[in-house]
């Protein structure tokens, strides 16, 4: 994210259907690998940026929260949002301070979030939240009961106005800087799982299931 490659220099937003399926595929891969999105909205003229979990079903993004949530209360009125997911892939070290950068993949989605009223669609979204984070988990755990369903607001956002930005590779140094005796290249970054920590109340005979011990995020080809 150097001066040259800042994600802020995004191209004009286009509608996904007008572009090739390749672009949609990249957008979906980034959304599926990410765990947290940043939801931007305007309240009383003031911008807010709130991190939250999300899920995707086909070309719809879902976010959820408590009816008491300030963000969700605002958003359910059907206001414009900007939802951004950023995956940091590496630090790019150049021979000059100026050309330092970051490798990343990001998706920016614009649209109007609307409240999911249909209970079947709501349950499908809740399943998508869980399966997005830990595939295989939904069928293992107790499903939401009626009061939990009622106590969850789910908002949907169509993945229509969305764009992806990707930076890969090493530094782009000035030609004259290549002779400098400075290490240059990339430090790749990875989000890794450490050893799972069992809940203190867990029955000792319950082992860590394979879908947890083998846990990784889906990795797209970069």
Which residues from 36-55 bind a second copy, rule CB under 8 A? Answer: 36, 38-42, 45-53
Please count the residues of this chain forming the interface with a second copy, following the rule CB under 8 A.
Answer: 104
List the one residue out of 10, 42, 41 whose CA is nearest residue 23. 10
Query: Near a second copy by CB under 8 A, which window of 18-26, 90-98, 114-122?
Result: 90-98
Query: Near a second copy by CB under 8 A, which window of 21-29, 97-105, 113-121?
Result: 97-105
- 166 near a second copy, rule: CB under 8 A: no
Please report, as residue ranges, which positions from 14 to 33 form the binding site for a second copy (by CB under 8 A).
Answer: none
Longest dimension (CA), the chain: 68
Query: Near a second copy by CB under 8 A, which window of 16-24, 25-33, 114-122, 197-205?
Result: 197-205
- 146 near a second copy, rule: CB under 8 A: no
User: What phi and psi values does residue 122 have, to the nearest 5 degrees?
Assistant: -65, -45
On whether the CB atoms of residues 30 and 218 are closer than 8 A, the answer is no
- 71 near a second copy, rule: CB under 8 A: yes
Minimum Å distance from CB 177 to a second copy? 6
- 62 near a second copy, rule: CB under 8 A: no
- Identify the three-state secondary structure at position 102: strand
Q: Can you spell out the DSSP letters for 27-85? A: HHHHHHH-S-EEEEEEETTEEEEEEE-EEEETTEEEEEE-TT-HHHHHHTTT-EEEEEE
Binds a second copy (CB under 8 A): choice among 19, 21, 77, 185: 185
């Amino acid at each position: 994210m150097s001066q040259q490659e800042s994600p802020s220099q995004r191209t004009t937003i286009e509608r996904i259907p007008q572009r090739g399926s390749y672009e949609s595929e990249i957008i979906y891969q980034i959304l599926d690998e990410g765990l947290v999105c940043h939801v931007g909205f305007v309240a009383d003229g003031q911008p807010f940026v709130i991190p939250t979990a999300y899920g995707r079903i086909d070309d719809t993004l879902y976010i959820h929260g408590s009816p008491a949530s300030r963000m969700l209360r605002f958003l359910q009125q059907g206001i414009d949002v900007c939802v951004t997911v950023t995956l940091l892939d590496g630090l790019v070290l150049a021979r000059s301070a100026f050309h330092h950068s970051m490798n990343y993949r990001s998706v920016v989605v614009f649209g109007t979030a609307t409240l999911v009223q249909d209970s079947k669609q709501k349950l499908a979204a809740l399943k998508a939240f869980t399966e997005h984070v830990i595939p295989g988990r939904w069928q293992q755990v107790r499903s939401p009961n009626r009061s939990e369903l009622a106590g969850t607001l789910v908002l949907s956002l169509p993945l229509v106005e969305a764009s992806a930005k990707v930076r890969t590779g090493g530094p782009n140094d000035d030609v004259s800087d290549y002779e400098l005796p400075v290490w240059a290249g990339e430090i790749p970054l990875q989000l890794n799982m450490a050893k799972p920590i069992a809940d203190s109340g867990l029955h000792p005979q319950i082992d860590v299931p394979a879908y947890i011990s083998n846990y990784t995020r889906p990795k797209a080809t970069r």
